Amino acid sequence: MAVKLNKLFEFILPKGKQKAGGISYTYTFDPSNTTEALTKPEYTDHLNDIQETRLSDNSLELIKTLIRTDPDVSASLNAYLTLADTPVEYIVRDSTGTVSRDGQKLLNSLMYRIFTITDYTLGYQSKPSFDEFISGLRYMALMRGSIGAELVYDKTMQPSSFRIVDMATIEFVEPSPGEYKPIQKTDNSDDIDLDIPTFFTARLKQDPSDIYSYSYFTSAINTIAARQKVINDLYRIMNLTGYPRVVLEVVEEVLKNRCPKLYKDDPKTYNDWVNAQVSALANRFSNIRADQPFAHTDSVKPSILNDKNPGASLQVSEIIDTLNAQNQAGLRVVATVLGRGESGVNTASVESRIFSLSADSLNKPVADILSKAFTFALRMAGFDGFVTFRFKPAELRPDLELESMRIQKQTRLMKDLSLGIISDEMYVMEMYGEGVREGAPTLSGTHFLDGDNDSSGEDSGEETPSTRRDSSLGRSLTPDDAESAESNVNK
């Protein structure tokens, strides 16, 4: 039975070698044009009107644009990326589930090769750092609802880099129930079959009955469009009635007396002449400033429209508040992130806690895809085991404020380490987020803390602070003049 179980849990390596340089495309790559410069954007996104673009673009393209142009979406994205930017931890275990120091060393060397080493003979290389790569995965998770990345091998069949794949270009084929095969659609070449072991995907809170994902901010599109329409209308209303405006009342009787005889006899020419005079006056005073004096004749009576309480008729606060609330719900952020926090202290604390948990959930698909990719790299390097990535929880409190809590955690973990409940690797990982340094002594289960008992529950025979004669408690329990003082202390 043991042999059968061992064969059951054996992993199977892929057939053949991986293609050097990878096979997936980035969204900017054009195989027919590899020498000319890429098309530079015009940076006119601020001129786009969502009322027009949402009729021609799908939600994926709209979200990509709104991230750059809409203040609420960009603020939400920035808040998520900032709060979710926590230190990463990883633990390597062998096939039995035991923490492996050798596997940890191998993983460190693989990460060093992928994110640090650069072949300077190739000139400029846009290889991202580990932090930049993780930030890119979080960005894609929010923008697309899922992330995809290919582990790229070089000509020596060693992992050299990661390539983030835009999931908007991926389509899936289902040859059998629950089995999906990805295909990358490109505009410049034939479809790319990504049914390869070096391509990995992860999803962020998606519908399990649908293989295709949606952006985390899709539900906010209609509210953003409605809000933008209302704001545009408010701009037009305020320009007409919201501000004080100069009104010129032309006295027609005066104009009639000054009208040339050539135009007085014919009603049509007379009306044309009057309209021309009114238009000339309007053009003359159209650019006048509020503090600029002007002279006029008795044919004009200037006044101020809506001068006592301009904007009194603009009761729009309730409309804006409703749209803001819908926008906040669609973006899944708290009011404080969007600059609209008006709640009390208790409510704000609950909001902050919920939002920090939401930011933590953003790290889960990132950790998932890292675990899959580096487990594959470890096994290709000959290690029989796996790696688990995780991120520290998002914390809103200052680092120094957490120091006292870390001391309490250290005390508890050192007790467990002394009793052998946890290993040295687990202790160092929990406290410092890294592996045990080379040459460090093994402390797990050594009862290095005073007062520890062995696993049988019997007294270890070592002196404790309560039994030493030189301690205050020991002196109070054992009289100095007693003949059995020494023996009592040693018991």
User: Between 386 and 307, where is the model more confident?
Assistant: 386
Is the model more confident about 266 or about 471? 266
pLDDT surpasses 50 at 266: yes
pLDDT per position as a tens digit, 207-232: 999 999 999 888 888 888 888 888 77
Compute the chain's Rg from CA coordinates.
36
| Residue among 253, 232, 406, 247 at smallest CA distance from 323 | 232
The whole-number pLDDT of residue 8 equals: 46
Average pLDDT rounded to a whole number, residues 426-433: 85
Instruction: Say what the pLDDT of residue 460 is.
Output: 47
| More confident call, 420 vs 434 | 420
- Say what the pLDDT of residue 413 is: 92
Q: What is the pLDDT of residue 11?
A: 60
Of the two residues 248 and 343, the one the predictor is more confident about is 248
Residue 240's pLDDT is 63
pLDDT of residue 231: 78
Q: Which of 19-28, 243-252, 330-339, 462-471 has the lowest mean pLDDT?
A: 462-471
pLDDT score of 202 more than 90: yes
Q: How far is CA 89 from CA 79, 130, 272, 317, in A?
A: 22, 13, 82, 47
Q: Mean pLDDT score of the chain, rounded to an integer?
A: 79
**Is the pLDDT at 277 greater than 60, yes or no?**
yes
Q: What is the mean pLDDT of residues 34-50?
A: 78
Residue ranges of domains in the chain: 2-40+84-217+356-391, 245-305, 400-490
pLDDT in tens, 317-333: 777 777 777 777 777 77
pLDDT digits (tens, 9 = 90+) for 179-194: 999 999 887 667 899 9
Q: What is the pLDDT of residue 72?
A: 83
pLDDT of residue 255: 75
Please compute the mean of the pLDDT values over residues 366-374 and round it to a whole number: 96
Q: pLDDT band for 157, please (50, 70, 90 cuts).
A: confident
Average pLDDT of the residues in 337-353: 67
Confidence of residue 299 (pLDDT cuts 50, 70, 90): low
Confidence bin at 171 (pLDDT 50/70/90): very high
